[in-house]
Structure formats: C-alpha cells, structure tokens
Amino acid sequence: MLRLGAHESIAGGLHRALERAASVGCESMQMWVKSSRQWTAPPLEEAEIAAFKAAEAETDIRPVVAHAAYLINIASPKSGLRKRSVASLIAEATRCEQLGIPYLVLHPGAHTGAGVDEGIRLAALSLSEVHAATEGFHLTILLETMAGQGTVLGRTFEELRAIIEATAQGERLGVCFDTCHVFAAGYELRTPEGYEATMEAFAAALGFERLKVIHLNDSRHPLGSHKDRHEHIGHGYLGEAPFRHLLHDARLDGLPGILETPKSADLHEDRENLATLRRLAKEAR
Ligand code: FE
Ligand code: FE
Ligand code: ZN
C-alpha cells in the first residue's frame, strides 16, 4: 500500500502545509519550499525552521516531499537562464536540507529548440553542478516523468535514464512517477496488460530502486496527447483502474502516493480524492 497524501499550500508559513495535510488525513505530503513563482527567497529564519519541525513532530506524515519551482529550467540552452536555474535549485536544496526534507521533485527541463541530445547534456551538466555544490547533503533530487509537452524532456523513461547516466554522482538521483504525465506521454496504465508493460518498461530503463515518489493524478487529456492537465481521481481519461493497479502493486509498497489535483480553500477535493483512493485500495484488483 502507498502512503497517501497531497500537495498542500505554504500560504501563511511552511508549517501551515503540514497542518493542512494533517487536516485532510494525509500520510505523506508535498509542498513548495518557497514561493513557486519566484527565483529567489531570503534565507530561512531559525523560527521558520523550528515551527516546521515542531509541526512535523506532531504528525505521522512521512515523508514530506518538496517540489522545485516551475521557473527552473536546468536544460536551457541560454546560459544565463541555465545558471540562474542551477543557483535557484541549489538554494531550494539547501532549504530542504535545513528543514530535514528528504526529496526534491524536479522537472528535467525543456531544450527550447536546441534538440533532445543537447537538452540532456545541459540538464546533466546542471545536475552535476548542483551535486558538487551540495556535497554531503541527505537530500535526493527526483527527476519527474513528464507528459512531453513542447520541448520538455522526460517524456520517456529512457530520456530520464540518459540524464542520470550523464550526471556526475548520478547515483544520488531518484525518480518521481506521475500517472497523468506518464499516460499523456503515451504509456498505457488502464488495462492490466498495459499497466504491467509500462511498469516493466520503467523497471528496465530506471529500476524500482530509483522510484521514491508517485504523483497520483487523473488526466484531462487522452493517452499520448502530451498535454499536462490534472483531473480528480476517476474523473479523467485514466479512470479508476490505473489507481487500483498501483494501490495493489507490492513493488510500490510504502512509497508516498501524492495527489496534485485541483482544490478549493476548504480542501474538500483532497478529502474526496483520498477517500476514492482508499476505497480502490480495498477493492479487488
Ligand atoms: Fe511536477
Ligand atoms: Fe507531478
Ligand atoms: Zn502535471
């Protein structure tokens, strides 16, 4: 069984994300470690770190996962933008380390016309620089599987492997599997045979040892659409079957399974999606 959770807002302070997660019954969670629309943030204050750790100590929510800002493009062929992305990622990694967060989910970037091979080379160069600057950190950066919209890298498991193989200290990297993205990228997840074939392709390219986080999102667009739009569990093109498969897959036992579905201020959608997932976990596969 997965440890089910959701991405929660840090509005009002980092510790508020944990409180929101606890209020809807999360066993794991994801959050930003700074405003997701800004390049930089002032250093964390001791009081913020203490408030976060105190809130975490009051819950059984483990692990807490961070997601890097969308502005970051470690594969950019524009050297100014790439350098800015590396600096921003190092700052986010440092925040995670200070907060005791073990995983930072990262989009592998977009080549913006320079070509897939050049994008892979630059993404690996950037990650090598981040690893050199974060020597000794407990944090693991997780490359996320992507829908492959536009020139975004990571639309195949092999592209992620190529980045990992070209990165210095690549053994420090892990992977985050996003159900919406994988499906939109063209991997079947709905039929038992399709699900098994996709998981075997994942195992062959990356291996389950690298898999640290699963994002549980239904998809607003069909198989192979390369469009990244999340839908509530069971209400999109994926339907309920893929989630039933995942929740009964012993290879994934104990991994965090985190919702990134739309929500309103009272978070009732999170409660509903978590209830749906817990019902599917009880049903026969
Ligand atoms: Fe993501
Ligand atoms: Fe995701
Ligand atoms: Zn997405």
Class of domain 3-282: alpha beta
Which ligand has an atom closest to residue 178 CA?
2
Distance 180 CA to ligand 2 centre (A): 8
pLDDT of 285: 77
Cα–Cα distance for residue pair 24/222, rounded to 1 Å: 29
Q: Which ligand is nearest to the CA of 70?
A: 1
Per-domain boundaries in the chain: 3-282
Would residue 171 be called left, alpha or beta, if left means φ above 0 and alpha means ψ between -120 and 50 degrees?
A: alpha
**Ion ligand 2: protein residues whose beta carbon lies under 5 Å:** 178, 215
Query: Which secondary-structure segment (H or E) carries 5?
Result: strand 3-7
Cα–ligand 2 centroid distance for 229 (angstroms): 10
Provide the residue-wise pLDDT of the chain in tens; the chain has 285 residues.
999 999 999 999 999 999 999 999 999 999 999 988 899 889 999 999 999 999 999 999 999 999 999 999 999 999 999 999 999 999 999 999 999 999 999 999 999 999 999 999 999 999 999 999 999 999 999 999 999 999 999 999 999 999 999 999 999 999 999 999 999 999 999 999 999 999 999 999 999 999 999 999 999 999 999 999 999 999 999 999 999 999 999 999 999 999 999 999 999 999 999 999 999 999 977
Cα–ligand 2 centroid distance for 145 (angstroms):
8
- Residues having C-beta closer than 5 Å to ion ligand 3: 228
Ligand 1 centroid vs 6 CA: distance in angstroms? 13
What is the Å distance from ligand 3's center to 54 Cα? Answer: 31
Which residues are part of the catalytic machinery? 37, 67, 70, 107, 144, 178, 181, 215, 228, 230, 260
Please report which residue ranges of the chain form alpha helices under DSSP H.
14-24, 46-57, 79-99, 116-133, 157-166, 179-184, 192-205, 241-247, 268-282
The CB density around residue 107, as the number of other CB atoms within 10 Å, is 25
What does the alpha-carbon distance between residue 103 and residue 54 come to, in Å, rounded to a whole number? 19
The pLDDT, as a whole number, for residue 97 is 98
Give buried/exposed letters for 139-168 (b at 16+ CB in 10 A, else e): bbbbbbbbbbbebbbbbbbebbbbbbebbe
